[in-house]
Structures are given as structure tokens and as C-alpha cells.
Amino acid sequence: MVNFPGISSLSFGYGPATEKQQGIKLIREAYEQGITFFDTAECYGPFTNEELLGEALAPFRKEVVVATKFGFEDGDSHKGLNSSPARIRQVVDASLKRLRTDVIDLFYQHRVDPNVPMEDVAGTVKDLIAEGKVKHFGLSEAGVDSIRKAHAVQAVTALQSEYSIWFRETEKEIIPTLEELGIGFVPFSPLGKGFLTGAINENTQFDKADFRNSVPRFNEENRKANQKLVELLGEIAKQKEATPAQIALGWLLAQKPWIVPIPGTTKLHRLTENIGGASVDLSGDDITAIDEAFAKTNVQGDRYPAHLQKRVGN
């Protein structure tokens, strides 16, 4: 299954926010094309992404799954972490109103807060589940120890972390742990923040508000060095009569049956293209060939600037 639901790009991180009615149209078109799982967070905007999703999904809210996240001071990712029980409760009530719903299907801790014991975080969400405000508990970018601590208090339904053909760190410890514990995996940036689509090269100029300007992997030198990865993906795509993005998504879907990638987009034609990734037929030999080819390449540049890297894998 491929789900559109990384709707953060409509109002956060990738330049100017998408015009409201255009965003609503895109979300509703996703539903019409079979998408039933939508992912947002209070800090996307902040707040505007949840409001947009709530309005867009209102006509068919009962027919879809909505995920949102808590974990930042005042809902602002620039202000630092805050997963105190009191803050979690504030977030759930505010998110329910913005999302125009009476329950949050999947409630993630956006980043592990080193100042709040994971047992307290999981315990608070457990209480919210008992109260009927939340259905399932999730973690984002958490390390193995945190996953185990949380799962011992309240079953973790899903982990959301970065995973794609060009970022494979999760294969070392995270994926085996998830498989052991029966936890689903929701990879974000399955298209390498757009790079694996082939639409970005060394000459691409990002909007001044685009966070990729601060990502080492996206500086001009590294984009040039990493271009051979996209060229390789393009060659495979031609053989399969698909696009590079569809091959990247098909590769992810072939890894485990409990992996649900969330490619985001602001464009209708990209939405349809991404959905087509679920229909790409990659054999075991195809996956082996892709893995062997990418094993011979060396991705240049870190995926986060140093100050953000400190927030992941804890």
C-alpha cells in the first residue's frame, strides 16, 4: 500500500504554503484515488496543516485513518522538545479540534524527549487511549531502547522514520526490532526528499524557505555527486516502464508487508504517479539488482544539519 499522507509539504518545510483550496482539492483527490491514511502534526505550520486536513477530510472522516504528532514546545519545532504529560494532554485536545474529529487514530511522539521518561510518555498516551481520545500510539525517529521502553507500557502500533533506497540506516537495528515486536513501519521521505524523483540536480534553486537549503546532502556539491544514484534509478525505471519515483516506492513496498511509505507532494500529477508505485512489479531478482547497484555507490552528505541530527535515534 502507498499512502499519500505526508501532507506536511502543503504548509511546512518546502517553501511557501500551498493555497488552502488547492490543498483541500489535493487531499480530497487523494481520497478519491484510494488513499485512506493521512499523516500530519501540530508543528506543521504550526497548526495550519492539521486545520487544512481537518477541513478536507470532514466529508469522509469516518472512512480514513488520521495520524498526528506531539512533542514540541508550543507546537513549534524551533522551540525545542516537550513531551511532558501535561503538554501531551494539551496537544491532544487542541489537535482534536483542529482535525474536526472525536478521536485521533494514531498519535505519535514526534521526537524522543530526553527530559521526560519514555514510561511517562507511553503511560500518558495509554490513559488517552482508555479515555477514547486516541486509538493507537506511535513513535517517530526513536531508537531501539526507546521503542522497547514504550512498547512495554503501551503497545506501539507504528514507528515513523526516514527510510529509502538512499538512506538505509534503519535496516541495522530498527527494522529487526520492529519485526520482533510486531510494530508497523511508516517511512517518511521515501523519495529522498524529492531527490530520487529525478527532478532535482546540481543546478536546482530551492525557495529560500525550503529546509533543504540547510541539509548537507542537498548542497550543490553533494547533489552533483549523488546524481549518479538518480541516473541508476532512471535506468531501472526505463526497463520497468515506470518512473524513478515509482521504482523507489516499489522497492520500499517489497521490503516488508508491514511497511507503509508516506510520499508527500503538492501536485496532482505527482500524487497519481506516487500511487502508481504500488503497482510496480519488482521481482526478487530486481530487488537484488537494485541493492547491488546501490551498494557500489556512496551517498554524499548527512541527511540532517548537526542540530537536528541530535534529535533522532534516541
**CB neighbours of 47 closer than 8 A, spacing ≥ 6?**
75, 94, 98
Q: Copy the grid coordinates of residue 103.
A: 478521536
Separation of alpha carbons 109 and 83, rounded Å = 8
Which is nearest to 67 in space by CA: 9, 23, 7, 22? 7
**Residue given cell 506536511 in the structure block:** 8
Please confirm, yes or no, whether 44 is among the known catalytic residues.
Answer: yes
**CB neighbours of 308 closer than 8 A, spacing ≥ 6?**
none
Candidate list 14, 31, 44, 163, residue with the active-site label: 44
CB 16 within 8 A of CB 48: no
Which is nearest to 42 in space by CA: 15, 14, 63, 12? 12
DSSP per residue, 100-134: T-S-EEEEEESS--TTS-HHHHHHHHHHHHHTTSE
List the catalytic residues: 44
